[in-house]
Amino acid sequence: MRKEDRNFQGILVFGETRSNKIHSVTYELTGKARNLADVKGCEVSVLLLAESLRDDPSDLFRFGADKVLVVQDPSLSIFNQGIAVNVLKAIIEAENPEILLAPATTIGRTVLPSVAAMLQTGLTADCTGLEIDPDSGLLLQTRPAIGGNVMATIKTPVHRPQMATVRPKTFRIPAPRNRTGTLIYPTLPKETFSSPIQSIHLQRAEGDGGNIQDRDCVVSGGKGLRRPEGFRLIKELAELIDAGVGASRPTVEAKWISYPHQVGLSGKVVAPKIYLAAGISGAVQHLAGMQTAQKIIAINKDPEAPIFRIADVALCGDLYDILPRLIERIRVERCERNG
């Protein structure tokens, strides 16, 4: 839709629910939408789709929402692309948001392109930065381009809404504030909840050990492991300190470890308290997935490795020498502490 067609205002977040619970990425995007709305002087609305929500939707007010719209229907018990597209399109047409933010999860990546095409507007996928242009008030959508080697800032000057997806963990959940808002349960026509697409079964693609995005510590291995068995050492350390196991893309491509473990531009974004990278050079595409970690420990035998430029702790040497010593040291210290 062209902006002169209607009066577009406000920011709408397409929230995500899983098993009728609000997913953390919804809080991340609500917080970011609040920052943007404060600059623009507009409202933030959050849309939630669920069969029957088990979390309290009004909690989102404390994280920046002014309005929460909860659409509940038995057909939403399992994700169905057709129904999700129908609902989001209907809400956009009723609310006329100027900006729409959605998570770049499987759901967001499936629903948003269809809705953008139907509304004939632009969509910038996998944004790593969102700002408001102080002169034009437009959404500045920044994302890696040309294989991650440049950061491109994209604008949608004419069509509305301006739509962007953001990968989980890109923005931090803000501290909750004492604020309130309006909770609405919109009633949509019956046909909104039917679709020629049939969802039969959904199965989450997870690496062993769960989703690495939920872990406080991540231990990752790269091509410097030189052989698939090298991940045994990575897993041993990870298990010892209750960490998730991450990996660089070449190790996934070589089938040393499965894709859900991949960290980076074409893998997952993680923001743990500690990220340990062993035998990873630190290519920009890998850094795109882990540079917001609070503490970065890097093990590399090359003193010039780019990963050392962002590391808080740099261990220069052979990982097959350093990792076993680190594991042994942790074990000994634990034994001594436990008497």
Ligand X SMILES: Cc1cc2nc3c(=O)[nH]c(=O)nc-3n(C[C@H](O)[C@H](O)[C@H](O)COP(=O)(O)OP(=O)(O)OC[C@H]3O[C@@H](n4cnc5c(N)ncnc54)[C@H](O)[C@@H]3O)c2cc1C
Compare residues 70 and 305 and give the one whose CB is closer to ligand X. 305
Compare residues 6 and 226 and give the one whose CB is closer to ligand X. 226
Nearest to 14 by CA among 66, 80, 91: 91
How far CA 119 is from CA of 38, 85, 140, in Å, comes to: 26, 11, 20
Half-sphere exposure of 30 (CA within 13 A, CB side): 29
- Is residue 172 within 8 A of residue 31, CB to CB? The reply is yes
Compare residues 12 and 319 and give the one whose CB is closer to ligand X. 319
Among 3, 18, 155, 301, the residue binding ligand X under the rule CB under 6 A is 301
* Angle between helix 106-119 and helix 81-95 axes, rounded to 10 deg: 50
The contacts found for 256-262 with CB under 8 angstroms, 24 or more apart, are: 256/221, 256/225, 256/227, 256/228, 256/230, 256/231, 257/207, 257/221, 257/228, 257/231, 258/207, 259/205, 259/207, 260/205, 260/206, 260/207, 260/211, 260/212, 261/207, 261/212, 262/289
Among 82, 113, 148, 186, the residue binding ligand X under the rule CB under 6 A is 148
Among 63, 261, 300, 326, the residue binding ligand X under the rule CB under 6 A is 300
Antiparallel, parallel or unpaired: β 99-103 and 21-22: unpaired
Applying CB under 6 A, does 224 fall inside the site for ligand X?
yes
Stretch that binds ligand X, among 9-17, 106-114, 175-183, 294-302 (CB under 6 A): 294-302
Residue located via tokens 């929500």:
53
What string marks each residue from 95 to 114 as x (binds ligand X by CB under 6 A) or -?
A: --------------------
Applying CB under 6 A, does 230 fall inside the site for ligand X?
no
Angstrom distance (rounded) from CA 122 to CA 104: 15
Structure tokens at 203: 């199965």
Applying CB under 6 A, does 147 fall inside the site for ligand X?
yes
Applying CB under 6 A, does 128 fall inside the site for ligand X?
no
Applying CB under 6 A, does 223 fall inside the site for ligand X?
yes
Among 270, 283, 293, 311, the residue binding ligand X under the rule CB under 6 A is 283
What string marks each residue from 52 to 91 as x (binds ligand X by CB under 6 A) or -?
A: ----------------------------------------
What string marks each residue from 309 to 338 as x (binds ligand X by CB under 6 A) or -?
A: ---------xxx------------------
Applying CB under 6 A, does 249 fall inside the site for ligand X?
yes
Among 265, 270, 293, 326, the residue binding ligand X under the rule CB under 6 A is 265
- Is residue 232 within 8 A of residue 278, CB to CB? The reply is no
- Is residue 122 within 8 A of residue 140, CB to CB? The reply is no
Compare residues 52 and 149 and give the one whose CB is closer to ligand X. 149
- Is residue 300 within 8 A of residue 307, CB to CB? The reply is yes
Applying CB under 6 A, does 261 fall inside the site for ligand X?
no
Applying CB under 6 A, does 262 fall inside the site for ligand X?
yes
- Is residue 147 within 8 A of residue 186, CB to CB? The reply is no
Applying CB under 6 A, does 213 fall inside the site for ligand X?
no
* Angle between helix 319-337 and helix 230-240 axes, rounded to 10 deg: 20
Phi then psi for 127, rounded to 5 degrees? -70, 145
Total residues at interface with ligand X (CB under 6 A): 29
Among 218, 267, 270, 326, the residue binding ligand X under the rule CB under 6 A is 267
Applying CB under 6 A, does 280 fall inside the site for ligand X?
yes
Q: Which residues are near ligand X by CB under 6 A?
A: 147-148, 222-224, 248-250, 262-267, 279-281, 283, 285-286, 289, 299-302, 305, 318-320
